[in-house]
Each structure stands twice: as structure tokens, then as C-alpha cells.
Chains A and B, each alone.
Chain A
Amino acid sequence: EPEVTQTPSHQVTQMGQEVILRCVPISNHLYFYWYRQILGQKVEFLVSFYNNEISEKSEIFDDQFSVERPDGSNFTLKIRSTKLEDSAMYFCASSEGDNQPQHFGDGTRLSIL
């Protein structure tokens, strides 16, 4: 069964550095998402991406964050000038169509030191 893949599985970074989290959505899916989950808390929406542009973003997704689809398969989340509170599990998800189930990758655990 096709799945969403994310790399790396764990990223440790010094505060203030930039990180790029990578995702390969399911190949025939058109909608892409990033979510984060701080340890012990609920899953929170960050951004959705459709037709090569951001379609919606949350209050969390400020100027520190950006997304890109650099080619036909990858979908990346860049976090600039990381802060301690950015430490979380970051999940990429994709869906085939509008209001279709979103399938999640295994996540990248980001640890900011």
C-alpha cells in the first residue's frame, strides 16, 4: 500500500539554526499538509498546500515557516531560526482529493537544543 514517507526520522538542531523537513506524499495525491504534535499534546494543523500554493495556514505558521514543492515528488517544511518551543513531532500528510482521508507519514521528531 502506498504511504507517505518522511525524512529524517529524528533531527537534533541547535537553537537558532535552520532545519528542513522532507516529505514524499503518496504519488497520486493532490493535497499536502504539515501538522505538528508537541509531546503529550494534540495534533495541530500548520499548513495545507494545493495546486502549488498554500491554501490555508494556521496562526502557528508564521514567517519562521515556509513550504515548498521543489519537484514532482517532494514537499518540504523549512523552519528558520529555530526556537526551543519548536521541539515537536512534525507530520506530513496527503490526500487524494477534497475532503478525502488524509494519510500521515511516520513523522520527524525535531529536538531543539
Chain B
Amino acid sequence: GQNIDQPTEMTATEGAIVQINCTYQTSGFNGLFWYQQHAGEAPTFLSYNVLDGLEEKGRFSSFLSRSKGYSYLLLKELQMKDSASYLCAVRFGAQTGANNLFFGTGTRLTVIP
């Protein structure tokens, strides 16, 4: 199977910056997605990277290095509502229609006052 690794838990302070890392096997890589999931709710799309570099979207940024099999999600100006699990999901292969995602176990972020 495709191993996607991310830390299990992180804690950060309101107003601070936090970086959540994700590593994956590089063979067949064809895109990486970050999702936010509040407890008991559906994953919500945050960002998408397929080329190397940084994608910025408001308080959230995501970085990708394909050669290193590495991505991170950067959250700035943390708010209490950012407490959630952050899921790294990777698409492997280029077959049309085969867009299934492989998810990591998620990083549970707790934002404290």
C-alpha cells in the first residue's frame, strides 16, 4: 500500500503559526490534497499541489517537494476554530477516472488560548 505519514497530534497557541508535515512514497505520485475534518464531520478541501512550490490561500498555505516526497500545510494567525484534524491525501497514477485518494491518518491540531 501507499504509506502516507503525518504526525498524530499537534498543539499550538491562538494567533501563532503551525506547520503540519506529510511524507509519502514518490513512485506514481500525481497530486496531493489537504483536507480539514472536524470531529464527526466530512473532510473539507483546503488545498491542492501537483507541482513543486507553495500555494497560498488566505491563512492557509501548502508546500510540495516532489523529489523529497514531502508536503506541509502552514496555518497562520491560528484561531480556536482551526482545532480539527488535517488530512494529507495523495493521488497515485495517471489513469483517467482513477482519482482515488490515499489518506494519511490525519494530524489532530488543538489550538489553545
Contacts and interface: CB of A to CB of B under 8 A. Distances in A.
A98 B103 contact: no
Interface in B1-40: 30-31, 33, 35
Nearest to A95: B99
A101 interface: yes
A48 interface: yes
Nearest to A97: B99
B45 A103 contact: yes
B67 interface: no
Contacts of B100: 33, 45, 48, 56, 58
Interface string B79-113: 00000000101010001111111111110000000
Given A99-B30, A106-B41, A50 B96 contact: yes
Contacts of A107: 41-42
Contacts of A35: 101
A50 B96 CA distance: 9
Contact of A99 (B31, B43, B87): B31
A44 interface: yes
Q: What class of interface size applies to chain B in its complex with A?
A: 20 to 34
Interface in A34-68: 35, 41-45, 48, 50-51, 55-56, 58
A58 B100 CA distance: 9
A20 to B, nearest CB: 20
Nearest to B46: A101
B32 to A, nearest CB: 11
B96 A98 contact: yes
B50 interface: yes
B48 interface: yes
B97 A102 contact: no
A106 B44 CA distance: 10
Interface of B: 30-31, 33, 35, 41-45, 48, 50, 87, 89, 91, 95-106
8 contacts: A31-B97, A41-B105, A42-B105, A43-B103, A48-B99, A98-B97, A99-B50, A104-B44
